[in-house]
Amino acid sequence: MFHPVARGFGLCSLLVKIMMVYAIKESGRDSPDEEYLAHIIDGNGAPLHSLLEAGFRPIGPVDVHRGDVDAVDCMIKPGESVVHMHGFVFDREVIENLVSSD
């Protein structure tokens, strides 16, 4: 989440790229079968560009249930047990491009 005056400078895209390079190349904790997933809540298209630019690809609609991901529980409406989102998976083939991109 960015303050409105900080939007439009590409900061989110840069931070997602840094996060993925660190996770895969620098952390020492990555394994070849590790999957990196991202979710965007229905109706929030702002992060879409950042994820696609960083190497994520869409996998379609997903329902995230209470307890699946800690940070999602606060987004579940009272009386419901699921948040409808669009899912994305990181394409490992692009990691070298991220390391050498400007």
- Boundaries of every domain in the chain: 4-100
Give the per-residue pLDDT at 101: 57
Cα-based distances in Å from 37 to 8, 42, 74, 88: 24, 16, 19, 6
The listed range with the strongest mean pLDDT (4-8, 55-59, 62-66) is 55-59
Give the per-residue pLDDT at 90: 93
Please state, in angstroms and rounded to a whole number, the distance separating the CA atoms of residues 63 and 84.
Answer: 5
4-100 maps to CATH 3.30.56.10: no
